[in-house]
Structure 1
Amino acid sequence: MGKRVRETERKYEADDRFEQPDLDGLPKVYGSRDLDPAELDAVYFDTEDLRLAARSITLRRRTGGDDAGWHLKLPTTEADTRTEVHAPLGRATRTVPADLAAEVAVHTRGERLLPVVRLKNHRERKHLLDAAGEPLAEIAHDHVTAQFLAAGPQGKAEAVTWTEFEVELVGGGPALLDAVEQRLAAAGLRRSDSPSKLARALGDRLVAAPVPPEPPAEIRTVGDAALAYLHEQLRAVIALDPEVRRAEPDSVHRMRVAARRARSALKTFRKELDRTATDPVGAELKWLGEVLGTARDGEVVADRLETRFAELDPAMVDEGLRRRLAAQHSTAPGQAHDAVVKIMGRSHYFRVLEAVEALLADPPYLDGAKLPAAEGLERAVRHDHRRLRRAVEAALAAGSGRDRDTALHEARKAAKRARYCAEAARPVLGAPAKKQITRMKDLQELLGEHQDSVMCRVVITRLAEDAVAAGESAFPYGALAQLELFRAREIEDRLPQAWKKADRPL
């Protein structure tokens, strides 16, 4: 993927009182250095309906200046700060680099990226310097001409012009931005209403661009709480999408958890949200969780096999076992990840996101959604805890072997649902919900360890069958399976006491 940097800057527009700002004597600024003017020519890319611009994302190919190339700018939660991803200029002028297209695929969702605006900018600039002569900030006076490319780069459209000042931190901190802003305000400049030059160039065209639904401004009812939690999970999935495509550590797992949380919430809040609307969305989220689970489960099993292998008596280890475990660890997770990324490029994946967004844009509230948030959330947390109690008691009563493994897996799923319900309740119920989250997390992790053992034994059995078919001994695989079985029995022995600690509903 392209080089990633943080960009912190503010933009200013001039009013009728504008005078060239005096920047002498700023705190911790010991001088300035004029830089050569730059002639910048940038073509901005977006979908036909401007999905990126509507989300404050800009993607451009710019020539001129000292950073010519492709630039993708992504919003962050930090004030005045964006993440900028760079890619080389290359020869192609109308085809977005694949790495950058992947970064925004969760927003474009299969729609083509087209040239939408061309910006030409005559930039006059200077650096503010520290005592050692190093740059603290760059001050740019931009003279911009923008043309909307309704029909591509050769299309005819009305051009607009304006001037603005841009202050970008180089080595300084936010206090310097504030000090510069005071000087600019005294000279008749004001903070720009547009988050970017692109947004200013597009103007009213952005009004019709599709934007994601907004979460409730405040949580008054249990319906508000359910919706806020679902919004949080959708934002997580969208934020993690490019990380999964880049194969960032743990990204697949975190996206899978967000999808599961959303699906679990649809089940928990069945008295608040109409199931005829939520069940189809839940089915789509289940599909997404299963797709992501393929890669995640491969990672877990490969790591677990490596741990068990290290516990084996070296005398049991033969070359065949060593080779098969190495292959499992090196290829299975990678192949599974490639399959996930391939699926994430298909329309079904994008339909899942759109289904969740449609539900959030028009929530299918039932009368139960009108309950005051605290009352409704307490009821939901207690309901899911009772459901968990039944599942754990069934698991403790189950016989050993496959029946107990299945029952413990069901208890694990119930513990996750109880935990996610408490998470949804935490903004309203506070400390009691936080304690419930901790209890459920501890229980879930214990039961999850048991399920990982079950999955690992399934893979060991398959590897043993492959070894026998190749004329190799199955004995070391039996030893591996026995180690996993010992671990599972240990967890089962700990479960009664763990459940005693966890069985404390609100």
Structure 2
Amino acid sequence: MASDASDTDTPSRHTEVERKFAPAETAVSPSFDGLSAIARVERLPEQRLDAVYFDTPGQDLAAHRITLRRRTGGPDEGWHLKLPAGPDERTEVRLPLGEGSDVPAELRDVVLAIVRDRPLAPVARIETSRTVDMLYGHHGTAVAEFCDDRVTATRAADDEHLTWREWELELVGEQADTGEALLDRLANRLFDAGAEPAGHGSKLARVLARAEDDAPESVRDPVHRAVAEQVAEMLVWDRAVRADAWDSVHQLRVVTRKIRSLLRASEDSFGIEDDAWILEELKLLAGVLGVARDAEVLAEKYETALDELPPELVRGEVRERLVEGGKRRYQAGWRRSLTAMRSERYFRLLDGLEALVAAEPPEAPPGEEAEPLSVESSYAKVRKAAKKAKAVAADADVPAAERDEALHRIRKRAKQLRYTAAALGKAKVADRAKAIQSLLGDHQDSVVSRVHLLKEATAARDAGEDTFTYGVLFSREAEVAHRAEAQIAKALKDLRKAVKAAT
């Protein structure tokens, strides 16, 4: 397994691809002879593993198929945080044992959106006697690991003891990325030896009697289901932001705004008003994330643009100001985002979102009916914004900034329509609305970029630097905006046709 960290005090991340099996107590270990991918098998000395698992009082980590343990014994003893990454795949975040038995802050922070301000305490202890067979390929490198485990587990809640036998198959090295077919062939040998699929994704799941792979209870209506899915996505992107994964701040911001848009479009279904605190908190969070997002987008935009220009057109300190300066602003914005995401205010927002999803829809007052979410009502807002933008564009006395804002309003309404249409299963409408959103997103990015270019060009001029390249980039951005404006009429026409066909 490859790690992305070299500092022993820094969490390292590993990809873990494994399957678990339930053999009979008297089953004989499988033979891997005759498999073309396996050249030899080496049995390692028996391992004694002792792991204490931690979770919140409500077992919130287990509910999200996450395990957190402190394990002694074996070659990888230490703290292990396992995060789901696919049917057979997990991302394992590791730290050395260190001193004491309290959960390290570095690991707690990874799952802070789930744990929030709830305590983490031991929920189970699992002791394992493990026999390991290392499976080597023809090039002499290990490709997989077969473990025969004898397990003794104790639940902290009632001190009940459980014992069972378990087999594990885990891919190692490069096979962890490309060896699904090998995993299937190896698994067949275990089935031939009398094993069955384990029926649980982790030993802890068995101890807690939690079926990790059970589908969640279906949500009542499309809108609640869509919001529930986005709240789940929010927790996933939260982890990515904390790891500073590429584009993660942008994606968390997108999810945050999508949730707000869906809630605003169906306030009656959730029993909230236009000025509900949860809508305001979502807006503020999106604003905080926007600082890092805008800096990241601009830095990448300018880096690409400068690389495309002939060298003789790139003059002065433009790359330092626009690219390196943007990267520094991104880091500052990212740290500001983390501060917000570690606050009690953020935890209460997540609590509120989960409560909205879980609550029964409010009953309408006698004699009234809640207005259902519909494509028609959302499209009417797009049409109104487009009509306003057309009138603004026709008035030569209107400032350019006001015309830009009118187009931006179309984008916001199209975005709301896209999310509504997707929630209601109107894919064609959602696609056409997305096209408008993307088109006018490029336009808005151009507006933001030109403002930024003017600001940086002024600073460069005041510092006595050559400002020629800023003008070149400004002209390119203006062309982007003009192209978007030229295409918007057709995009709106295509949307109108899609809405008509869907209704």
The two structures have a TM-score, normalised by structure 1, of 0.80
State the partner residue of 2:5: none
Query: Could you say what secondary structure the match of 1:144 adopts?
Result: strand
Q: Does 1:40 align with 2:49?
A: yes
Change (3 A) 1:366 1:394: farther
CA RMSD of aligned residues (A): 3.6
State the partner residue of 1:429: none
Q: State how far apart, in whole Å, the 1-side matches of 2:69 and 2:357 are.
A: 31
Q: Does 1:466 align with 2:459?
A: yes
Aligned with 2:35 (options 6, 18, 28): 28
Q: State how far apart, in whole Å, the 2-side matches of 1:102 and 1:485 are.
A: 42
Q: What one-letter code is carried by the residue in structure 2 that aligns with 1:64?
A: G
State the partner residue of 1:384: 378
State the partner residue of 2:218: 216
Q: State how far apart, in whole Å, the 2-side matches of 1:165 and 1:497 are.
A: 61
Shift of 1:475: 6.7
Written as runs of structure 1 = structure 2, the 5 A alignment for 1:57-456 is 57-78=66-87, 81-126=88-133, 138-148=145-155, 158=159, 160-170=161-171, 172-185=182-195, 192=198, 194-202=200-208, 214=216, 216=218, 224-276=221-273, 279-306=276-303, 318-366=315-363, 380-398=374-392, 399=395, 401-426=400-425, 433-456=426-449
State the partner residue of 2:368: none
Change (3 A) 1:174 1:446: same
Q: What one-letter code is carried by the residue in structure 2 that aligns with 1:56?
A: R
Change (3 A) 1:61 1:413: same
Contact residue 272 and residue 367 of structure 1 kept, 8 A? no
Q: What one-letter code is carried by the residue in structure 2 that aligns with 1:8?
A: E
Contact residue 316 and residue 465 of structure 2 kept, 8 A? no
* Greater mean deviation of Cα atoms: 229-238 or 101-110: 101-110
- Deviation by residue 1:312-340 (Cα, 9 ceiling, x = unmatched): 79777653545422442331122211211
Change (3 A) 1:315 1:37: closer
Q: State how far apart, in whole Å, the 2-side matches of 1:238 and 1:248 are.
A: 14
Q: What one-letter code is carried by the residue in structure 2 that aligns with 1:167?
A: E
Q: State how far apart, in whole Å, the 1-side matches of 2:352 and 2:298 are.
A: 32
Shift of 1:26: 7.8
Q: What one-letter code is carried by the residue in structure 1 that aligns with 2:415?
A: K
Aligned with 1:495 (options 488, 491, 495): 488
Aligned with 2:12 (options 2, 27, 32): 2
Query: Could you say what secondary structure the match of 2:14 adopts?
Result: strand
Change (3 A) 1:11 1:478: same
Contact residue 141 and residue 163 of structure 1 kept, 8 A? no
Shift of 1:392: 1.2
Contact residue 216 and residue 227 of structure 1 kept, 8 A? no
Q: State how far apart, in whole Å, the 1-side matches of 2:314 and 2:200 are.
A: 65
- Deviation by residue 1:368-401 (Cα, 9 ceiling, x = unmatched): 9xxxxxx966xx1122112101111211221451
Shift of 1:362: 0.4
Q: What one-letter code is carried by the residue in structure 2 that aligns with 1:65?
A: G
Q: State how far apart, in whole Å, the 2-side matches of 1:471 and 1:100 are.
A: 48
Change (3 A) 1:141 1:271: same
Shift of 1:412: 0.7
Q: What one-letter code is carried by the residue in structure 1 that aligns with 2:243?
A: R
- Deviation by residue 1:329-365 (Cα, 9 ceiling, x = unmatched): 3311222112112221112222221111000110334
Shift of 1:125: 3.9
Q: State how far apart, in whole Å, the 2-side matches of 1:489 and 1:198 are.
A: 58
- Deviation by residue 1:54-95 (Cα, 9 ceiling, x = unmatched): 3332112222223223222223441xx241414242423424
The two structures have a TM-score, normalised by structure 2, of 0.80
Contact residue 104 and residue 242 of structure 1 kept, 8 A? yes
- Deviation by residue 1:217-267 (Cα, 9 ceiling, x = unmatched): 6xxxxx610111111111111111111111111111222111111111112
Query: Could you say what secondary structure the match of 2:221 adopts?
Result: helix
* Greater mean deviation of Cα atoms: 24-33 or 446-455: 24-33
* Greater mean deviation of Cα atoms: 232-241 or 277-286: 277-286
Contact residue 53 and residue 68 of structure 2 kept, 8 A? yes
* Greater mean deviation of Cα atoms: 92-101 or 472-481: 472-481
Query: Could you say what secondary structure the match of 2:46 adopts?
Result: strand
Q: What one-letter code is carried by the residue in structure 1 that aligns with 2:168?
A: V
State the partner residue of 1:372: none
Q: State how far apart, in whole Å, the 2-side matches of 1:342 and 1:324 are.
A: 26
Shift of 1:295: 1.2
Change (3 A) 1:214 1:286: farther
Change (3 A) 1:465 1:173: same
Contact residue 46 and residue 52 of structure 1 kept, 8 A? yes
Q: State how far apart, in whole Å, the 1-side matches of 2:359 and 2:259 are.
A: 16
Change (3 A) 1:408 1:362: same
Q: What one-letter code is carried by the residue in structure 1 that aligns with 2:18?
A: T
Shift of 1:282: 2.2
Contact residue 118 and residue 146 of structure 1 kept, 8 A? yes
Contact residue 305 and residue 456 of structure 1 kept, 8 A? no
Change (3 A) 1:481 1:118: same
Structure 1: give runs of 5+ residues left out of the alignment: 151-156, 218-222, 369-374, 427-432
Identity level (%): 33
Q: State how far apart, in whole Å, the 1-side matches of 2:184 and 2:274 are.
A: 47
Contact residue 27 and residue 179 of structure 1 kept, 8 A? no
Change (3 A) 1:421 1:158: closer
